[in-house]
Amino acid sequence: MNFTFNRNALKILSTFPGGLLVLIPLIIMGCTKIRERDTIDARDNFTTWQVYGGDVKGTHYSVLDQINRKNVSKLKVAWQYRADDMRSDPPSTIQCNPIIVEGTMYITTPRLKAVALDAATGKELWVFDPEGGKGGGMNRGLTYWRDSVDQRLFYAVGAYLYAVNAKDGKPIIGFGEGGRIDLRKNLDREELQFVTSSTPGVVFNDKLIISTSVGEGPNPGAPGHIRAFDVRTGERKWIFHTIPYPGEPGYETWSPDSWKTNGGANSWGGFTLDTKRGIVYFGTGSASYDHWGGNRIGQNLFANCVMALNAETGEYVWHFQVVHHDLWDYDIPCPPTLVTLAKDGKEIDAVAQPTKMGHLFVLNRDTGLPVFPVAERSVPRSDIPGEESWPTQPFPISSLAYARQVFTDQEITDLNPAATQYVRDTIKNMIKGNIFSPPSLKPVVMFPQFNGGSEWPGAAFDPESNTLIVNASNEAEWISMVQSKGDKETTLGVLGKQIFQSICANCHVQTKTNFQTSPAVTPLSGVKARMTKDQVLSLLETGKGQMPSFRTFSEVEKKAIVAWLFQEDENEKISTNDLRTSWRNQIPYVSTGHWDFRDPAGFPVNKRPWGTLNAIDLNKGTIKWQVPLGTYPQLEAQGLKPTGTFNIGGPVVTAGGLVFIGAAMDERLHAYDKDTGELLWEFQMDAGGYATPATFEIGGRQYVVIAAGGGGKPGTKPGDSYYCFALP
Ligand code: HEC
C-alpha cells in the first residue's frame, strides 16, 4: 500500500513540458522551521497532495498547521462521500490514498471505479468505471500527470493500466491499445497469467514507472521486472530485469534457468523518486515460489532488495538486499522514504526502508551503504530436502528494530489464564524462534507476522525533527510445509488442486475448510450448485471482468481443474508426460498457508501491544517513542488500556504537531502528538480506515481525508466511504 496539505500559500505548481514538478523555493509563512534543503522539492512545498504518499519522496508530510495540537479535539466531519459499490461477502476494501489537484480530489472505490470529487464539498464530478460495476481486487490510488494541453490519470484495474482524462473521466484513446496497456505484455516472457499493478507509479520526464503484483505461488509466476512507459503513447521506454538474464549482473545468484522459470522480485509497493538525482527508489518482493527455493539456489538478487535505478534509462545504480534467498514471503512492501538526517556533524541524504520483519534500514541515497551499522549474522538452516537456505541474514543495530521479532515463552499472552494455558499447550508442537526461523514440516511461529511489521503504507517523515513515524503489527501467525507429489503418474484431482493453488489461488484463496477468496472475488466453495461444468469451461475460455481467460490451458488441465472444483473424476489417472514442464517440475514442498494464530476468544497469542505507532529519531538511530496503535472496543470496555491491534494503513505527519492514522481494527481515525505519541483525538468511523489519510488546503481551510473501506480480511466489516474532516 500516500497524501498532503496546503497552506495559504502561493500555489506554485509549475511543470516542465514533461510533467515534472519544479521546485520553486518559496518561503511559507509560519514554516520557518523547515530549512530549504534537498528534502523540499518536487512538490508544492508540502502544501498539496498531488502524489501518492504526499510527494514523490514518500514523506507523508505537510506544512499545514491550521489543525494543530490545540484544536484537533474540535475536528468535525466536513463531508462524507459514499461510493455505494462495496461487496460484503467476501468483504471489499479501499486502500486508496486520495490525491488532490487544484481543488479536485481523485479516488478509487471498492469496485475500482475512479472518481473525481470537489475536494471542498465531496460532490461527485465524474466516474470512470472500466468494469461496469464488477471490478474487484486492489487499488491504492492514481498517478496524475499534466503538460500544457493534457491532464491525465493512470491506474490499473486487473491486467490493464488505464489512462483517463482528469478533466472529464473519459479514456485517452491514443494511449496504448484504445486507452490502456496490457501489463502482461512487454515483460520479456511468454504466457503470463497474472500481472496487475495495485500501487500508483511515478512519473519522471514523461515516463510512467510502474509497479506490478504477480503470482507468488508454486508455479510459474510472472517476473517482477521494472518498466517505464511513455505517458503519451503507452510505449515501453525501458525495462530492468529484477531476475537477471545470462550475462547480466546478479545472474549467478540464481539457478541457471531461473530467468526463464522463477517469478516475483517485483516492486508491488511502488516507488519514490529523487528528481534532482534522477533516481527512482523501490523495494522488491521475494522470488516465487515464496516458501521453497530449491529451484532458485543462491542469494537471489534482486529479490528483497532496496534498489536505485536511473529513472531516465532504467540502468542499475545500487542495491541493498534485506533478506537473502527469502523463504518467508518477506517482500519489501513499500518504497523507501527519502529522508535527510544529521549525523556526526554532517547532513546525509538517505533512504529509510521499513520492512515486514520490523527492521528499519537507513541507507545512503547515493551509494546504498548503511548509515548505521548492519551485521550479517548466522541464522538457522532449513531442514526441507532440496532447500539451500542462506546461512546469514542482515541485522541493523537493535535500536532500529521497531517490531517484536523473537517468540519465546515470555511472549505468551497474559490476557487471561485460559488464553495463557491454551497457547502454552498449542505451542508445544511448534517451532518458535526469530524472524529467520525457516519454514519446516513442523509448524513454525511467524512473528511479527506475514503482514509485518510494516506493510504497503510505509512511513511518514517529519523533516522538522528528522523523525520517521512508522506503524507496526505484532500478531504471531504460523506456517508449515507439506510434501507435494512428484510421481510419473498423477490424477486429475491432484493436478486440479495444483493448478488451483498456483494460479487460481492468487485471487480465490483456498483454506483448510473452504475456498475463501481475496476481497471482492466470489468464493468458489459452492460453485457446483451455481454453475454447470460447461459454464465453468466457457468462463475459463472467455474470462469475465477481472477474471482472466485461461484459454492457453490444455484439455487435460481444463478437465483437471473442473474435476477438482466439482469433486468428480478426481481419481482418474493421467501421465505426467502429457503435462507442461511447469506441472511436471512441480515444487516438491509447499506451504499449507499463512495461518492466523489466536487464543480461544480470537485474540492474538502474544503479549500486548499487538500494534504500535513508532517514532524513530533518524539522527540517532533510536526509537523516540512507541505507543499502542488502536484497541479492541470489547477489551476497552473491560477497562483494559489500548491493546494495539493489527493495523493496515499509513501515518501522515504535519507541521501542526500531529500524526494522523487510521489503520487499526477499532475503525477510528486517530491523531497523536508527534513529539510524545500522546493520543489527542479519535473519531469512530463506520468501517476501518485501512488506508493512508491525505491533508490539503482549499480557500484557507485545512482538510484531512481518509478512506473507510474496512474489509480486506474475511470477517472484517467492509465500508464504502471517504471521510473528510475540518475545523468547524
Ligand atoms: C486475477 C484474479 C483471478 C484469477 C487468477 C482467477 N479468477 Fe476466477 N474469478 C475472478 C473474479 C474477479 C471473478 C468474478 C467475475 C465476475 O463475475 O465478474 C471470478 C469468478 C470465477 C468463477 C465464477 C464463480 C461464481 O460463483 O460465479 C469461477 C468458477 C472461477 N472464477 C474459477 C477460476 C478458476 C478455476 C481459476 C484458475 C484457473 C480462476 N478462477 C482464477 C478472479 C480470478
Tens-digit pLDDT profile for residues 431-459: 998 999 999 988 899 999 888 899 999 99
Q: How far is the CA of 547 from the centre of ligand 1 (A)?
A: 5
Other C-beta atoms lying within 10 Å of the C-beta of residue 169: 18
Does ligand 1 come within 6 angstroms of the Cβ of 551? no
Asked if the peptide bond before residue 588 counts as cis, ω within 30 degrees of 0, the response is: no
When pLDDT is averaged across residues 520-538 and rounded to a whole number, the result is 82
* Number of the ligand 1 atom closest to the C-alpha atom of 134: 18
Are 705 and 98 contacting, i.e. CB atoms less than 8 angstroms apart?
yes
Q: How far is the CA of 106 from the centre of ligand 1 (A)?
A: 29
What is the pLDDT of the chain when averaged over all its residues? 88
Torsional sign, CA 446, 200, 118, 42: positive
Report the range of poorest mean pLDDT among 80-89, 183-192, 224-233. 183-192
Does ligand 1 come within 6 angstroms of the Cβ of 308? no
Does ligand 1 come within 6 angstroms of the Cβ of 325? no
Does ligand 1 come within 6 angstroms of the Cβ of 217? no
What is the signed CA dihedral for 403, 405, 409, 412, rounded to 10 degrees? 40
Q: Which three cell numbers stand for residue 606?
A: 502474544
Report the range of poorest mean pLDDT among 324-333, 418-427, 676-685. 418-427
pLDDT at 576 over 70: yes
Q: pLDDT per residue over 611-643, tens digit each?
A: 999 999 999 999 999 999 999 999 999 999 999
The letter for the amino acid at 724 is C
Does ligand 1 come within 6 angstroms of the Cβ of 134? yes
Q: Please provide the distance, in angstroms rounded to a whole number, between the alpha carbons at the two ends of the chain.
A: 31
Match 499545514 to its residue by C-alpha cell: 64
The length of the chain is 728
Q: Which three cell numbers stand for residue 320?
A: 541493498
143 vs 56, 566, 569, CA distance in Å?
11, 42, 49
Does ligand 1 come within 6 angstroms of the Cβ of 442? no
pLDDT at 582 over 80: no
R_g over Cα of the chain: 24
Does ligand 1 come within 6 angstroms of the Cβ of 138? no
Q: How confident is the model at residue 50 (pLDDT cuts 50, 70, 90)?
A: very high
Other C-beta atoms lying within 10 Å of the C-beta of residue 317: 18
Separation CA 519–CA 390 (nearest Å): 34
Predicted confidence at residue 585, as pLDDT, reads: 57
The letter for the amino acid at 367 is T
